[in-house]
């Protein structure tokens, strides 16, 4: 009824190729942005920021990053945790070496460092693909974690190997360290996520993204029509690692405040983010959000429901929570193998016809 193209006339190419061609979609998008920027910061408290909003925003950045690589360019990666660690340690070294520089710059630079490392570990993708590439990136994961454990320079020779984020500001407002307000944390991550999402969306809509998808769909055919596999694969690794590096830097500096590499950036992290991408939907920016929301918010929700509302013992609740999340993943993937994004797409198609399906 209200969700349709009819009457929504486009008179320029620019209008025709915009991200949200349907007016209702566009309005909905602005409404989400308005709520995220205008309403939530007014009400957010420490619990909501630290347990719900900030992890969701950061995991969404990481999921977008991995989705660029796995979903759009078709290169399987199990090195996400390791690349996040690169972002985190780069950010830590930059924060401690140049305390006067804004943390905003450091986070972006940390992403840049990760991009370089990502390209380095992406080189094998020119020769191998599929499961073999997954194993090569798995090696990156273990190597990077080992490196940050082994070389004391990365953690400034602290006795325990922990890295701790010092207090740093953006425009005079604390965004890392203990004095940070819930709103500052939330806003900083939100701005980063917005930048990343807009960038990723436009890259994937443009020529670069089309090259990635051509490589994903059939690399030989792509090569024949003139896509250079070297640049396509390397840019995919670069962009993906850049985003993942930003996520890692935020994860350490804004969210956790202190981290040790094996615990915070272990192989479980790689799998967690890969699951987010798969459950959310490969090759979809919205899917990255949905997958991150599913795997970050659902456990917190279940915990509060079972322990807080039903007063179950904490261990029983923790076990049941794992089982429920696991079962839901199975159910979702059986019902819709293309992830939550596909469910959303189907819902939109239905809405377009509703209420007159013929």
At its nearest, how many Å lie between other proteins and the CB of residue 265? Answer: 11
Interacting stretch for other proteins, rule CB under 8 A, among 80-88, 113-121, 209-217, 249-257? 249-257
Which is closer to other proteins, CB of 144 or CB of 340?
Answer: 340
**Does residue 47 bind other proteins (CB under 8 A)?**
yes
Least gap, CB of 218 to other proteins (angstroms): 32
Q: Which residues pair with 163 in a beta bridge?
A: 259
Region of 1-9, 190-198, 218-226, 298-306 interacting with other proteins (CB under 8 A): 298-306
Residue 314: its H or E element? helix 314-335
Smallest gap, in angstroms, from Cβ of residue 6 to other proteins?
26
One symbol per residue from 196 to 235: x for binding other proteins (CB under 8 A), - otherwise; what is it?
Answer: ----------------------------------------
Task: Look at residue 26 and give its three-state secondary structure.
Answer: helix
Nearest CA to 245 out of 32, 76, 95, 64 is that of: 64
Q: Helical H runs in 48-153?
A: 54-67, 80-97, 103-122, 131-150
Interaction between residue 304 and other proteins (CB under 8 A): yes
CB of 139 to other proteins, least distance (A): 15
E runs forming strands in the chain: 163-164, 168-170, 173-176, 258-259
293 in contact with other proteins (CB under 8 A) = yes
User: Residue 261: exposed, middle, or buried by beta-carbon count in 10 A (0-12, 13-18, 19+)?
Assistant: buried
The three-state secondary structure class of 249 is: helix
Regarding 298 and contact with other proteins (CB under 8 A), the answer is: yes
Which stretches of 128-181 are DSSP H helices?
Answer: 131-150
Q: Is 124 in the site for other proteins (CB under 8 A)?
A: no
Report the alpha-carbon distance of residue 293 to residue 277 in Å, rounded: 11
Q: Is 258 an interacting residue with respect to other proteins (CB under 8 A)?
A: yes
Residue with Cβ nearer other proteins (159 or 330): 159
Judge contact between 84 and 218, C-beta under 8 A.
Answer: no
Q: Which helix (H) or strand (E) holds 263?
A: helix 261-264
Size of the site for other proteins (CB under 8 A): 50
For other proteins, the binding residues (CB under 8 A) are 46-47, 50-52, 55, 96, 149, 158-162, 164, 166-167, 177-179, 255-260, 262-264, 266, 289-290, 293, 297-298, 300-301, 303-305, 307-309, 313-315, 317-319, 340, 344
């Amino acid at each position: 009824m209200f969700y349709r193209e009819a009457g929504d006339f486009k008179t320029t190419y620019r209008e025709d190729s915009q991200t949200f061609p349907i007016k209702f979609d566009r309005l909905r998008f602005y409404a989400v942005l308005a709520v995220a920027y205008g309403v939530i910061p007014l009400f957010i408290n420490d619990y909501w920021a630290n347990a719900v909003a900030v992890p969701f925003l950061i995991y969404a950045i990481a999921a977008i990053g991995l989705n660029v690589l796995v979903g759009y360019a078709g290169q399987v990666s199990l090195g996400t945790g390791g690349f996040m660690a690169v972002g985190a340690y780069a950010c830590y070294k930059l924060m401690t070496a140049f305390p006067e520089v804004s943390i905003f710059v450091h986070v972006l630079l940390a992403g840049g460092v990760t991009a370089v490392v990502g390209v380095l570990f992406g080189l094998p993708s020119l020769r191998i693909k599929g499961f073999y590439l997954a194993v090569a990136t798995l090696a990156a994961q273990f190597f990077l974690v080992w490196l940050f454990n082994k070389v004391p320079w990365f953690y400034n020779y602290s006795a325990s190997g922990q890295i701790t984020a010092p207090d740093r500001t953006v425009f005079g407002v604390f965004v890392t360290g203990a004095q940070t307000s819930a709103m500052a944390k939330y806003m900083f991550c939100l701005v980063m996520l917005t930048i990343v999402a807009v960038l990723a969306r436009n890259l994937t809509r443009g020529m670069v993204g089309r090259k990635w998808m051509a490589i994903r769909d059939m690399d030989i055919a792509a090569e024949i029509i003139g896509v250079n596999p070297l640049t396509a694969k390397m840019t995919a690794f670069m962009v993906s690692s850049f985003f993942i590096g930003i996520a890692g830097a935020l994860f350490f500096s804004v969210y956790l405040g202190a981290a040790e590499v094996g615990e915070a950036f272990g192989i479980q992290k790689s799998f967690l983010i890969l699951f987010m991408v798969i459950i959310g939907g490969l090759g979809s920016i919205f899917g990255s959000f949905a997958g991150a929301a599913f795997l970050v918010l659902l456990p917190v929700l279940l915990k509060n429901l079972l322990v807080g509302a039903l007063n179950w013992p904490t261990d029983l609740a923790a076990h049941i929570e794992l089982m429920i999340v696991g079962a839901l993943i199975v159910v979702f993937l059986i019902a819709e193998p293309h992830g939550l994004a596909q469910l959303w797409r189907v819902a939109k198609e239905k809405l377009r016809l509703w209420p007159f399906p013929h």
